[in-house]
Amino acid sequence: MDLAFLGETFVTLLGGVPLLLQLTFFSVSIGAVFAVALALMRLSGNPLLDYPARGYVFVFRGTPLLVQIFLIYYGLGQFPEIRQSIAWPFLRQPYWCAILALTLNTAAYATEIIRGGILSVPFGQIEAARACGMSRTMIFRRIILPQGLRTALPAYGNEIILMTRATALASVITLMEVTGIASKLVSETFRAIEVFACAGAIYLFINFLISRAIAWAERRLSPQAAPQSAAAPEPAR
Amino acid sequence: MGYFELMGFGPKGWGLLLAQATLMTIAVSVTAFAIGAVLGALLAWARLAGGRGVNLAAETYVTVLRGIPDLLVIYLLYFGGSSALTSLMKALGNDGFVGVNAFAAGAIAVGIISAAYQSEVYRGAFGAVAKGEIEAARAVGMGRMLMFRRILAPQILRFAIPGLGNVWQLALKESALISVVGLTEILRQAQVGAGSTRQPFFFFITAAALYLILSTVSGWGFNRAEAAAMRGVRRA
């Protein structure tokens, strides 16, 4: 074990963490907006909205993320119309392509998570809101969405962790996040096991922090589920 | 050259190569899934019946493999395996680089990731077996092996089918990552085609369609298997 080398590797790899976090943050937050819209399309009861959303989810969940990344980064440039459009300065850069692919991918998975959350809101609550004379949008804003999102939170936390893992694929289109730096280091030092193990430890630590944060948010959002502080103390054994 | 000529089976078409690559994707995914099934079953056994140390080791395995990127696992096995093999050969007096086989490294990498997911599926399925059945098996004097073979295994497999279907889809999609170490499966073949014809969109959209077909057909197969396995179960 060469501790000096491990320490040096660790510090070098940490340089990729900001990019990793950026990719995760942008794709998860923009993806969440898409996902809410897609979930509403799925639940609208209107086949003109429902079926396109179904098709979207089917295609993006049925194909590997790496294919989606290649399709956007290499594929779109095939068409002169796209190369001459105003989007080209963005679509030419691996950074925006990675964010676009990750966003579209997570939106598909999150759609089903949010849809499940919304469906879990008890109908009695919606009935009560209607009885109070709330409009459809107000019911959605005040009753359905807050409770649906809270129910969806644990599954959404899993999805965020999966996205953190998925950002590693951005290294395949030359982005220098943790995995990208790691493979560069390996090609320079030929010490694959140490370098990749270090990178793995960084991912594990980040995912540990994310899962803690989600658990904290869950507790904050469901005070009614917390153990009652006034409960009788356990009898001594 | 139009899209269909390019992807067709004519003299200039890539159809045959893509069909071979599809078979390679199926072969590597099935191998990985099988490795995951064996290892996953052992892990589930460790979690359910092991002592504290064994249990903790299995739990750590699952947490680590689910927390680090799949690409990193593939790199670790391929490049790490190659450098370990090279230094082993050097110790035996054989200089020069020795690379591990991309198929083997990829299948093992995807397999050990799949094992982490499969162990959770088997564990959940074990929990779904009615406790009364295990009690009844003990009461009629079945030994542990007999009980496992006749009572537990058939029911665990039955309850595990939907979860295994999901894990299979994951393995199928993860197999695309093996293209980064040079195995000529669907995505690698599409990259080669895209590079030599300068029509990347056509090749990658074809790759996407092939994956969609594979996942749809196998999803349908898992549904059929589930229906067949559940045919004797009364539903509420």
CB distance B190–A74 less than 8 Å?
no
Report the alpha-carbon distance of residue A156 to residue A139 in Å, rounded. 23
Q: What is the pLDDT of residue A169?
A: 96
- Taking 70 as the threshold, does the pLDDT of residue B134 lie above it? yes
Q: Within 10 Å of residue B213's Cβ, how many Cβ atoms?
A: 12
Q: What is the pLDDT of residue B90?
A: 85
Q: What angle do CA B227, B231, B233 make, to 5 degrees?
A: 115
User: What pTM does this model have?
Assistant: 0.90
CB distance A179–B187 less than 8 Å?
no
Q: A200-225: per-residue pLDDT in tens? A: 999 999 999 999 999 999 888 877 76
Q: How many CA atoms lie within 13 A of A123 on its CB side?
A: 0
B67 — contact with chain A (CB < 8 Å)? yes
B51 — contact with chain A (CB < 8 Å)? no
A13 — pLDDT class (breaks 50, 70, 90): very high
Nearest to B80 among A171, A179, A192 (CB): A192
Q: A175-185: per-residue pLDDT in tens? A: 999 999 999 99
Q: Which residues contact A176 (CB under 8 A, 6 or more apart)?
A: A16, A19, A184
Q: What is the CATH number of domain B3-229?
A: 1.10.3720.10
Q: What is the pLDDT of residue A223?
A: 72
d(CA A195, nearest CA chain B) in Å: 9
A179 — contact with chain B (CB < 8 Å)? yes
Environment class of A43 (CB within 10 Å of its CB; exposed 0-12, middle 13-18, buried 19+):
middle
B128 — contact with chain A (CB < 8 Å)? no
Q: B53-107: per-residue pLDDT in tens? A: 999 999 999 999 999 999 999 999 999 998 888 888 888 887 777 788 999 999 9
Where do runs of H (alpha helix) occur along A63-177?
Answer: 65-70, 80-83, 88-91, 94-119, 123-131, 136-139, 145-166
Report the alpha-carbon distance of residue A76 to residue B159 in Å, rounded. 43
Nearest to A207 among B67, B202, B207 (CB): B67
**Contact in structure between B72 and A181 (CB atoms under 8 Å):** no
State the DSSP string of B170-191: HHHHHGGGGGGGT--SHHHHHH
Report the alpha-carbon distance of residue A199 to residue A207 in Å, rounded. 13
CB distance A165–B70 less than 8 Å?
yes
Report the alpha-carbon distance of residue B24 to residue B36 in Å, rounded. 18
Task: For chain B, give the mean pLDDT.
Answer: 92
From the candidates A69, A78, A162, A203, which should be mutated to test the interface with B, based on the most B CB atoms within 10 A?
A78
Q: Which residues contact A37 (CB under 8 A, 6 or more apart)?
A: none
d(CA B165, nearest CA chain A) in Å: 13
B205 — contact with chain A (CB < 8 Å)? yes
- Taking 60 as the threshold, does the pLDDT of residue A230 lie above it? no
Cα–Cα nearest to B28, from B189, B205, B179: B179
How is chain A split into domains, by residue range?
3-222
Q: What is the pLDDT of residue A61?
A: 95
CB distance A63–B212 less than 8 Å?
yes
Nearest to A63 among B69, B177, B211 (CB): B211
Residue with tokens 């939907």: B162
CB distance B69–A165 less than 8 Å?
yes
Instruction: Name the percent of chain A lying above pLDDT 90.
Output: 76
- Taking 70 as the threshold, does the pLDDT of residue A77 lie above it? yes
Cα–Cα nearest to B30, from B126, B167, B145: B167
Q: B19-31: per-residue pLDDT in tens? A: 999 999 999 999 9
Cα–Cα nearest to B168, from B228, B101, B214: B214
Report the Cα–Cα distance between both ends of chain A, in Å, rounded. Answer: 48
Q: What is the pLDDT of residue A237?
A: 52
CB distance A186–B202 less than 8 Å?
no
Report the alpha-carbon distance of residue A206 to residue A200 in Å, rounded. 10
Q: For residue A66, which residues of chain B lie inside 8 Å, CB to CB?
A: 176-177, 179, 187
Q: For residue A191, which residues of chain B lie inside 8 Å, CB to CB?
A: 83
Report the alpha-carbon distance of residue A133 to residue A84 in Å, rounded. 52
Q: Which of residues 33-72 of A touch B (CB under 8 A)?
A: 58-59, 62-68, 70-71
A25 — pLDDT class (breaks 50, 70, 90): very high
**Contact in structure between A91 and A97 (CB atoms under 8 Å):** yes
Report the alpha-carbon distance of residue B74 to residue B108 in Å, rounded. 8
d(CA A168, nearest CA chain B) in Å: 6
Report the alpha-carbon distance of residue A25 to residue A23 in Å, rounded. 6
Environment class of B96 (CB within 10 Å of its CB; exposed 0-12, middle 13-18, buried 19+):
exposed
B79 — contact with chain A (CB < 8 Å)? yes
Q: For residue B201, which residues of chain A lie inside 8 Å, CB to CB?
A: 71, 74-76, 78-79
Q: Which amino acid is at A230?
A: A
Q: Which residues contact A160 (CB under 8 A, 6 or more apart)?
A: A24, A28, A210, A214
Q: Which residues contact B65 (CB under 8 A, 6 or more apart)?
A: B73, B112, B113, B115, B116
CB distance A59–B70 less than 8 Å?
no
**Looking at the domain A3-222, which fold is it?**
MetI-like fold (1.10.3720)
Query: Which secondary structure element, helix H or strand E, spans residue B40, and what is its range?
Result: helix B15-49
CB distance A196–B72 less than 8 Å?
yes
- Taking 80 as the threshold, does the pLDDT of residue A167 lie above it? yes
Q: Using CA atoms of A165, A171, A176, A181 in order, give the dihedral in degrees to the nearest 10.
A: 80
| CA nearest to B62 within chain A | A204
Instruction: Name the percent of chain A lying above pLDDT 70.
Output: 94
A119 — contact with chain B (CB < 8 Å)? no
Report the alpha-carbon distance of residue B186 to residue B26 in Å, rounded. 10
Q: Which residues contact B57 (CB under 8 A, 6 or more apart)?
A: B46
A169 — contact with chain B (CB < 8 Å)? yes
Biggest alpha carbon distance in chain A? 78
